[in-house]
Amino acid sequence: MSTMRGLRNFIVEIRGARNADGETDIIKKELAKIRGVFNKKSDSYSRRKYVLKLMYMYILGHDFSFGVLEAVELMASKDKNEKIVGYLFLSAVLREDSEFLTLVCQTLMSDISGSSLFAPSLALNFVANIASPSIAEVVAPKIVELLSAERGSVHTVVRKKAALCMLTLVRRAPEAVSFDTLPSTLIDLIDTRNVGFLTCLMSLLQEAVTRDPLAYIPAVPKIVHLMAKISLNREVAQDHFYCGYPCPWLLIKLMAVLLVLPPPQVGSQPHSDILRVVGHVSHIVDVSATGNKLNTQFAVFLQAVRLAVHVGQCEMLLLPPEDVMTGGVPAEGETTTLSSHRHSARLSEGSPDDRSILSIAGKALSSRNANLVYFALDTLCMLARSTPAVGSYHGTVSSLLLSSQDASIVRRAADFLFLVASARTARALVEELLAYLEGAGVDAVDTVRYVALRVGVLLERFIPDDTPSLSFCVWYCDALARLLGALGDQVEDILWFRACEVVASFPHTGKRYAAYRLCRQVLAADDCRSGSLDSLDALAVFLLGEYGGLLFQPVSSSDLPGYSVSGLETDPVSLQDVASLLIRVLSAPTSVDVLSPLQPVAVEAIGKIIASSSDRDSDSVMGVLRGLLETASRSIHPEAAQRASELLTILNLAPELVSTLLAPLPPRDIHCGSALQDRLEKQLGREGVETPDDVDTEEAESPRQEMEVEMPPQVSSVRPSSLLDLVSEPASTPLPIPPGVYTGVGVLYEGTHLQIGVRSETGTDGCRMEVFFGNKSGSMLSITAAVDFVPGPQEPASALEIRCSTLPSSLGPNQQARMTVHALAKAPYVSLPTLTVLLDKRRICMFLPLPISRCLCAPSAEIAEDVDMNFVTHWDALGPKLERAMVSTMETVSPRVIGQVGVALGLTPLKGIARQLRKAVFLVCLPNAPSVSSRGFVLLMVGPKGQGQIEIVARGHKAVRNNVLEVLVKALE
């Protein structure tokens, strides 16, 4: 093994550094030296050495801004050693968005086409790990070629890497991939015998299938056959066995692909083969094995369980594996076999047999191996929906929840309990979850919140449709009080906000109990808390305000039955108790910087109690409450003080006004839309523990979506559309764009009262559009207009940045108003923005015809000139793919006229080459194209072809190419 002495010494020196500062000093010194070396001409050995030194610094987390160019040179070198180092450095340092990627495109392309194994391996590895759209577009055809080449003509290693390159392209740059021929190519490749290649191919299929599952149905029998061959017959080279298991990696991947494909028909050969494999895989799990062997067996087993659910054979999991292997599974419609009897008997008992497949997962729950426990729980969660029998494990899971110190296991256990809960078991399960929360340590904030959200949803999941019974109300309030009490200040506001809504739907006694119970909880907790306030106080104060008055009313006879249950009578809340609670809130430490948001709520609560108290004249109650208000009026919280003073004044002058001013909250329909449920779904959308169906879909999208969130929000002036949404009239589909408007000037809409015209101009800074509103009627019109960009499924929300000026709200007779819209494309987009106009309560919606959608940037003069001068080179560099269209016209059109049409569309004409070719030639620049060489543009040649025919040929970025073509055809027609 060769080692570079200089590099070794450098590493030794860094390791010898006493502390971080020492290390930084060494690095600084070295960087200065390297910069000097790079500035001079140096030999191959030292260039490699210094690039490797830089790489080591990068691994250690140090920043430097040079060296990439040297590495690019090394990468392009013919010397293999230089190439290795170049690739090594660049693949570690470069990212998708790096501008240096354009520099390596050419090298990558020639390396991939290399004849040996060496260069293509390096280049394909690089592309598979880092594929920017610009690289993707260049290499995609070559990759397809490698994949679909004759067997034997391409080395398997190269083909293997090509498959994973394709995977990256499908994930990150789908627009560069042609999905029409991909399925047949990939399905043919399944016949290959190389295990390594098949593993890669399955990874690719797993992603490709999700985009078009139906196209891949012919792959099902092939994949199942392969799976059966490996699992049942162990027909694999010894090399690929891991811990005695025949290539588990490939096996898992085969199952993963089947999971995203439609399940085969019941009774078909693939279907019964799948069941045999599932039976076999479960049969060979040896729970007494240890370590890696057990893990491997279990990994495949868990995947097989998912597969069984996927093919619709959940009940099979209740049978012993041997029965499944020998085909003892009841087919559909067949009810008389022995096994189906047994199975239905077991289903009714609801508990799986000791020997059943499911019990293998059950046994893992009590394993000492924490990993097995975690994964078994994960699988049980997945099964919770489809297989009710898993509910029988709830005892084991509950004890795990309470005893485990492991946040990962606790989360999965809580998920499981949450998922198996039914109306019958909900109370017991909530009890268990609350027991966990009450005993949870303070350091587990995230986990506590995670569990608390589930408790919150469980509490309301089984609210009856009609008025909740008193016993439900009592249970809800008790559990809620304990939940908030256990959480302290870790609770999320959403939890108690929702509780306010739920309590408002309770019957009279329920509300009264809610106020009582929360108040009691606060009073009971007060002794052991510091001065700070939390959600428990907030909810108690709010409920006291709404329903506290009820506490001091005489009990009516209809309320009596509830009393004995709830303890309202045996341990009532006195006025003093309420007062002490409110005083605590009003006197909680507050400073000018940190105002307690609860103080105004408390003041309002006092007002509401006064308003709802029937014995308003009773001195005792009123006296105490007034006293509280006076305290509040001296608070340093300005809002609370003002509120309190106002209330006092009203009480003095016109006490009867109070009940009008402070009416209680009206009940709302709690069954429509729960913020808690929404939050949970959002969380699940990200974590996906619940439905097995969504496990594999839209996987690759999630990080991208997250990144989008960080993009700057749309400019606020675009927002008025939300106002429009409130209008009762349903949203109409936008009107089509009238012919001819694309040429930049035209009438967009013509009604009896209103005319909307548009004029647009494209510059290097985007498209500036003026929208004119003309009032044709003889009276005033009130107009509101908003521009909205609703991105399509594949488009980022920030693809188009739109700013628009506001419009005067009314328009006099025969007057005209103007709105300017400035649109700037940040990424290629397809959907057009819409203009919604609200005209005297009528809603008109139309597309805004941006002159060339997707490409709103005119190229700079230098770029245009460069392309004009070297047209042929650029045309060829855009690759072989082109789009052609023919337009028929009434009479022959000269290139000059075509040129004018193109200019009106916002295209940049290339005059020099146009004269030579006697055609109109246009250049279109994509948003954010850094330079000409990055292929960030599209070229069009348009010219007359025969009598009354115009031919358009376009090359460049596929989607944009098509789009420009479409628009141009429309305009020429």
Partner 1 sequence: MIDFVLLINRQGKVRLTKWYAPYSEKERTKAIHEVTNKVVGRSSRLCNVVEWRDKRLIYRRYASLYFLFCVDKTANDLLVFEGIHFMVELLDRYFNNVCELDLIFNFRKAHHIIDEFLIAGEFSESSKRNILRACSAHDQLEISYDVHS
Q: Kindly state whether residue 700 participates in binding partner 1, applying the rule CB under 8 A.
A: yes
588, 598 Cβ separation under 8 angstroms: yes
| Contact with partner 1 (CB under 8 A) among 60, 69, 524, 731 | 60
Least Cβ distance, residue 413 to partner 1 (angstroms): 12
Looking at 533-541, 580-588, 687-695, 716-724, which segment touches partner 1 (CB under 8 A)?
687-695
CB 541 within 8 A of CB 598: yes
783 burial (CB, 10 Å; 0-12 / 13-18 / 19+) is: buried
Mention every residue, 6+ apart, whose C-beta is less than 8 A from residue 199. 247, 249, 250, 253
Among 375, 506, 552, 937, binds partner 1 (CB under 8 A): 375
- Per the CB < 8 A criterion, the answer to whether 688 and 695 are in contact is yes
Taking CB under 8 A as the criterion, which residues in 206-235 touch partner 1? 206
Q: Are 834 and 732 in contact (CB under 8 A)?
A: no
Sole binder of partner 1 in the list 61, 441, 712, 880 (CB under 8 A): 61
Window 807 to 836, contacts with partner 1 (CB under 8 A): none
Residue 45 binds to partner 1 (criterion: CB under 8 A): yes
Residues in a beta bridge with 760: 769
When binding is defined by CB under 8 A, the residue of 80, 634, 671, 915 that contacts partner 1 is 80
Q: Of 577 and 795, which CB lies nearer to partner 1 in the complex structure?
A: 795
Which are the contacts of 2, defined by CB distance < 8 A and separation ≥ 6? none
Q: Is 470 assigned to a binding site?
A: no
**Closer by beta carbon to partner 1, 689 or else 855:** 689
Which of 24, 32, 66, 81: binder of partner 1 (CB under 8 A)?
A: 81
Within 314-373, the residues that bind partner 1 by CB under 8 A are 370-371, 373
Burial letters 201-217, b for 16+ CB under 10 A, else e = bbbbbbbbbbeeeebbe
CA dihedral sign of residues 607, 609, 610, 612: positive
SS3 972: helix
Stretch that binds partner 1, among 480-488, 547-555, 684-692, 842-850 (CB under 8 A): 684-692
Which of 21, 39, 41, 97 binds partner 1 (CB under 8 A)? It is 97
Report whether 107 contacts 148 (CB < 8 A): no
DSSP assignment, residue 150? Answer: P
Q: What are the DSSP calls for 775-794, one per residue? A: E-SSS-EEEEEEEE----TT
Least distance CB 192 / partner 1 (angstroms):
14
Binding partner 1 by CB under 8 A: which of 102, 107, 134, 199? 199
Least separation in angstroms between residue 379's CB and partner 1 is 10
CB atoms under 10 Å from CB of 528, counted, come to 6
Cβ contact 786:721 at 8 Å: yes
Q: Is 401 in the site for partner 1 (CB under 8 A)?
A: no
Stretch that binds partner 1, among 48-56, 522-530, 568-576, 760-768 (CB under 8 A): 48-56
Residue 696, interface with partner 1 (CB under 8 A)? yes
Nearest 5°: the CA angle 158, 160, 162 is 70
Count each helix (H run) and each strand (E run) in the chain, helices first: 41, 16
Stretch that binds partner 1, among 193-201, 495-503, 719-727, 878-886 (CB under 8 A): 193-201
Binding to partner 1 in span 284-303, by CB under 8 A: 292, 295-296, 298-300, 302-303
Side-chain-facing half-sphere of 389: CA atoms under 13 Å: 25
Give the interface segment with partner 1, choosing from 70-78, 688-696, 795-803, 823-831 (CB under 8 A).
688-696
Would the annotation count 513 as a binding residue?
no
249 near partner 1 (CB under 8 A): yes
Cα dihedral across residues 579, 583, 586, 588: positive or negative? negative
Nearer to partner 1, 384 or 823 (CB): 384
What would the x/- binding string for partner 1 be over residues 106 to 145, using CB under 8 A? -----------xx--x---x--xx----------------
Residues 488-507 that bind partner 1 (CB under 8 A): none
Closest residue by Cα to residue 810 from 788, 787, 838, 834: 838
Nearest C-alpha neighbor of 807 from the set 833, 776, 772, 780: 772
Say whether residue 24 binds partner 1 (CB under 8 A).
no
Residue 49 annotated as part of some ligand binding site: yes
To the question of whether residue 245 is assigned a binding role by annotation, the answer is no
- List binders of partner 1 among 536-565 (CB under 8 A): none
| Residue selected from 439, 703, 712, 880 as contacting partner 1 according to rule CB under 8 A | 703
Is 416 a binding residue for partner 1 by CB under 8 A? The answer is: no
Phi then psi for residue 452, to 5 deg, are -60, -40
DSSP states of 131-146: --HHHHHHHHHHHHHH
Residue 85 dihedral angles phi and psi, to the nearest 5°: -65, -40
Annotated binding residue 160: no
Packing angle, helices 44-59 and 80-93, rounded to 10: 20
Nearest to 794 by CA among 959, 938, 935, 929: 959
Nearer to partner 1, 375 or 496 (CB): 375
Q: Which stretch binds partner 1 (CB under 8 A): 74-82, 219-227, 586-594, 640-648?
A: 74-82
52 carries a ligand binding annotation:
yes
**Closer by beta carbon to partner 1, 302 or else 455:** 302
Q: Within 10 Å of residue 56's Cβ, how many Cβ atoms?
A: 15
Among 34, 108, 252, 605, binds partner 1 (CB under 8 A): 252
Residue 563 counted as an annotated binding residue: no
* Residue 866: CB minimum distance to partner 1, A: 31
Number of residues counted as binding partner 1 (CB under 8 A): 86
Smaller CB separation from partner 1, 404 or 521: 404
**Is 787 in contact with 802 (CB distance < 8 Å)?**
yes
Instruction: Indicate the residue among 179 and 241 with the shorter CB distance to partner 1.
Output: 241
Beta carbons of 955 and 972 less than 8 angstroms apart? no
Residue 557, H or E segment: none
Q: Taking contact as CB under 8 A, which single stretch among the options 75-83, 650-658, 915-923, 938-946 is the one that binds partner 1? A: 75-83
Q: Any binding-site annotation on 41?
A: no
Q: Which is nearer to partner 1, 86 or 895 (CB)?
A: 86
Smallest distance, partner 1 to C-beta of residue 298, A: 6
Residues 6 or more apart in contact with residue 84 via CB below 8 angstroms: 122
List the binding residues: 5-6, 45, 49-53
